[in-house]
Structure 1
């Protein structure tokens, strides 16, 4: 028992080691193929030399120096903010009104006094006296700033003209002050007021004093606002977008002079000899580790279901290498404009994995291949991923998995190619229509033809490579199983002609096994074909098996029970040898060898025990091995069930259920199912399915009345 456990543990370790070595090999291969897609090529370039080739940026990075320069220019272009003091404006207008009102008041006083005085007396209201009177009643600012001559000129102007001039002056001064007058433009403001007075419809003599007053009325009323200016500059600086150098952007073209600015940009993106960057390589390494980890976990899942062996592992590794290599080869000729990734026959890998291994595995690897495709077609720009290529590869592979159903012959793969073509073309048109670029009708035709070529090549490659894996590695695919199930196969003909009873029995076991396998998600087609061949060993001595004994006496009645047991026990191993001789798949050979496990030949054992009490039970047991797979275990059960039910004279539903339950219970008690992956829940489902199938076969029939004899 310990020895068996140690062997089992060794097998587990051995299988894990194979998975580990396989994923490491695949990881190294992928790294070598994608190395240049993330490796930053460096150049030995001097300033002011000529560029020998066009150099693109391998990364997306901010040009901080250029961003600072642009921010500085933007801040400098912000106009200083000034606040206009409206109080000053109103104060100056009030001064103007004060002057004109004071003149009017003094003038009225003078007129009253003149009326009271005699004509012979000299009037005391001379121009100088009036000016002095004005100075007494005017504000100090006015007195200090306005010339006496100006006041005299205003006094001498008729009141109507003076009021008209007052209006012109106030409007011009108010407009100018409302626009804001700063120290540096005060002369310009005065000139604007004088210009307005000059073109006003006033007497020329009146314009001069008004213009003199403008020098007093126009003053600085707009002052620099530090806080508002600072806020405006901050807002302008925050609105400056960073100057970015995008991955793939041309830094310098072939033949262009390497200026200081270009040299600084080359240095910034790290393409100079002393600026090599290993981070993209580390990133690629981490990505490949993740991909290999997912591969290992999925392979372990397949292994736990006993669906993984060395041949399948080699197949998975080969398909992975093939798919990645196809993408890499096409990428060598691809450019940003050509979009050659549309022509990659990426669906080949998904088709082969589904046909040769399992649908779930095909889905997982389709996702991994799509991720790798987005790296391989990144234009050798470190850090960039071609999401369009990755999405196209994903849709193409998913389409191949979905459309590949009911593989009856190799033309089914070509039919699947039609579905892949439709999805490929729709995906291509989707990308083209979503882009900002305008494509001509000819471009649509070209890219659609790429999509068609991808689907066609995928189907052709899958058909061409399938025999290599089936024959070269002995992988058993559904198409191979369908070929083996053909009644014209030489071994099936041999069973039919030499052991017709066994042939009928095998067909019945095949029907039961297929439905039972499908009920638990096992490979029903494998179970059916395995059941066809499981008793091929009976053709060595067909008449020693009861189903082939037609109109003859049982030969076992004339020989020793030990001899009979030896003949019966040998048939699984004779069958395995015969299958090996005809180069049948290993899975079929294993089913033939394991379908009796190490069960006891009870009939001959008890018959011998009647004559020999000391008989050894081991002499009447099959040597094994016990069933190792779900399919072999189900055939083991169905083989016994079919024979037992066929022996019933009146197979009722109750009897069928009783026999099926007892056989499954006996196999479990005898330990025949211990090495198979079947669970108790699955066994219950198998039992129910077998009973339903048998009830359909052995259903009750109408008893037709016999014809009355005359």
Structure 2
């Protein structure tokens, strides 16, 4: 399985491994996978129930939901109970008093006009005045009233007007509605009973007052609607509470029960889609946070889709393990969630990728654990499981931060055990009545969880390393040990090459760390970059120990074949010893396709035909990543500096800059992502390291000079 996964990953074109579209697709796939892993724990179970049947299950509400139909019914009943609101319109009172005043002014005007025309009035003129007054007055009075008004002196009219205003004002200020006309008549009659005026005047006043008084308490539509709105808002929503029993086992399903089941989304043919949407939003938000954290950081995972794929695999592995453990939550062990080895995901992430990203992922794992292991229908999350899971993830990540030995994984597991015991104890004592037998059972789960986390981490490390071709720091430290079989062979069979490799490793590690690359990978790659020389060690000058050089007696084309083949021989040897792919790549790429200049020039001098440079170039490929390019530069620098008798700092710097420039001019660095700034930092780092190696030493006097002195 590991070989098939490795082959499938390696078949992916290199540009896909840095493609933004591929990265986006991986995040989408992560979101989809998390969604379906959590779906069962969030979406309520539905039932195939019908009206007028006996339920064979006990059904409770999985979440709190409003019964909108019942709420609307209560609001409708409350609105119906609201009485119409009437208000007194003071504008009507003012208007009617103006009308009353105008009536008496019209009477006065008609009288004055007639007096100006003639001093005496006959019956025809009186009839004309009455008709004119009828036209001016907006009400229909009796003829007697018109005649009475026209016959009054100004003083009498003023008295009548005052009495009329008083009656109209008093009645209308009290207010009256339409349909209360009888009551108004009685009030007018009552106020005129004590009047000492002539009966004709009283009758006229009564008729004028009754005509002027109109209903001034009117229906206030706006106030009534506002009152209805207030009443509707004051009605408390009808809530179906989480955990509420909707239908019991063996209970008859009435129309009302069936309706409530539909409201809660528990019917198969009428599910509630809001939890689906809520879960999708939650998962999308979590994945977006991961994307933002990774894209804004400086980690290699930001541009390396292989690392991103491994990160996603680790997350899904952890969630699948949690899912598997959650299948047993309905067993008699109600606290089985504490058995889940939730920390192993964060431990793998800190080993392969980054400490802070491991903490970030621990937050996701704790939320998922609180969802998956929640057995209560009252709440969506069980914060006890979430807290214990978060504590375990943080402890596991912290204990493996900057740790480089496999035994540290077991130690981290023990620390996770200790943290689990403390966190489980705190949760249990906070929320449950203490039963020591149950508590010790939880301790067993906590211990098993921590140990399983370390065991799973140890088990998955080699699987992930081989499947994704990604080296952990622990693996690199193991490969750097002098006791590694291949390094022991290199030391015993080619001591000169071994010493050269150690020097190149020192230079490469410092240079890689100067630009933020993987210094440990560069060091280990340098250890193994020349193992191919073990096939013919005597043909390489560092292993000749001042002896005879076999190249002096053979044709340059044969020498070329031997020298150029050491990279391919090295890759084969590394494959034979099952060393990781990045180490093989450094061995294959450290010379790139550079020219074997010495033997090329020697061949051109001895040849009778034109010699192509391509015949004397390494097979390549050119360096594909920074560490391979750095090892190649340091390899050339170390060999060149070793040829100098007493190198000065200036000579060293000039030599290093020349080698870097030659590599650039020969386009040997065109396929890796080194920048000019990084090349300058690499140059400075190499120079500083070499100055430390070739520093000036005190020349001690010879033994004879000491004796003479």
Asked if 1:626 is matched to 2:618, the reply is no
1:554 aligns with one of 549, 553, 561: 549
Residue 633 of structure 2: SS of its match in structure 1? helix
Residue 563 of structure 1: SS of its match in structure 2? helix
Query: Any stretches of 5+ residues in structure 2 without a counterpart?
Result: 1-10, 83-219
Whether the aligned pair in 2 keeps the contact of 1:633 and 1:673 (CA below 8 Å) is yes
Q: Distance in 1 between matches of 2:374 and 2:241?
A: 14
Q: Distance in 2 between matches of 1:268 and 1:412?
A: 54
Asked if 1:606 is matched to 2:597, the reply is no
Q: Distance in 1 between matches of 2:344 and 2:244?
A: 34
Counterpart position of 1:270: 265
Output one character per residue of 1:583-609: Cα deviation in whole Å (capped at 9) or x when no partner: 221111111000111112222233334
Match runs of 1:514-663 below 5 Å = 514-611=509-606, 614-663=610-659
Whether the aligned pair in 2 keeps the contact of 1:19 and 1:299 (CA below 8 Å) is no
Counterpart position of 2:393: 397
CA-CA distance at 1:415 after TM superposition: 1.4
Q: Distance in 2 between matches of 1:339 and 1:459?
A: 21
Aligned residues: 552
CA change 1:503–1:308 in 2 (3 A) is farther
CA-CA distance at 1:45 after TM superposition: 3.5
Residue 629 of structure 2: SS of its match in structure 1? helix
Q: Distance in 1 between matches of 2:497 and 2:41?
A: 62
Whether the aligned pair in 2 keeps the contact of 1:596 and 1:624 (CA below 8 Å) is yes
Q: Distance in 1 between matches of 2:572 and 2:289?
A: 39
Asked if 1:460 is matched to 2:455, the reply is yes
CA-CA distance at 1:636 after TM superposition: 0.8
Residue 681 of structure 2: SS of its match in structure 1? helix
2:498 aligns with one of 500, 503, 506: 503
Counterpart position of 1:677: 673
CA-CA distance at 1:534 after TM superposition: 0.4
Counterpart position of 1:59: 63
Counterpart position of 2:347: 351
Query: Any stretches of 5+ residues in structure 1 without a counterpart?
Result: 1-7, 79-225
CA-CA distance at 1:537 after TM superposition: 0.9
Counterpart position of 2:241: 246
Output one character per residue of 1:250-269: Cα deviation in whole Å (capped at 9) or x when no partner: 43443455566544432321
Match runs of 1:23-172 below 5 Å = 29-46=33-50, 50-64=54-68
CA change 1:477–1:366 in 2 (3 A) is same
Output one character per residue of 1:552-591: Cα deviation in whole Å (capped at 9) or x when no partner: 1222222233332322221111111121222221111111
Counterpart position of 2:117: none
1:485 aligns with one of 480, 484, 487: 480
Whether the aligned pair in 1 keeps the contact of 2:392 and 2:419 (CA below 8 Å) is yes
Question: Aligned Cα RMSD in Å?
Answer: 4.3
CA change 1:471–1:268 in 2 (3 A) is closer
Residue 599 of structure 1: SS of its match in structure 2? coil
Whether the aligned pair in 2 keeps the contact of 1:637 and 1:664 (CA below 8 Å) is yes
Residue 634 of structure 1: SS of its match in structure 2? helix
Output one character per residue of 1:275-305: Cα deviation in whole Å (capped at 9) or x when no partner: 2233433544565566667778899998887
Whether the aligned pair in 1 keeps the contact of 2:567 and 2:587 (CA below 8 Å) is yes
CA change 1:499–1:273 in 2 (3 A) is closer
Q: Distance in 2 between matches of 1:353 and 1:62?
A: 43
CA-CA distance at 1:68 after TM superposition: 6.8
Output one character per residue of 1:634-655: Cα deviation in whole Å (capped at 9) or x when no partner: 1111111212222222233232
Q: Distance in 1 between matches of 2:489 and 2:409?
A: 32
Residue 571 of structure 2: SS of its match in structure 1? helix
Residue 266 of structure 2: SS of its match in structure 1? coil
Q: Distance in 2 between matches of 1:265 and 1:243?
A: 11
Asked if 1:12 is matched to 2:15, the reply is yes
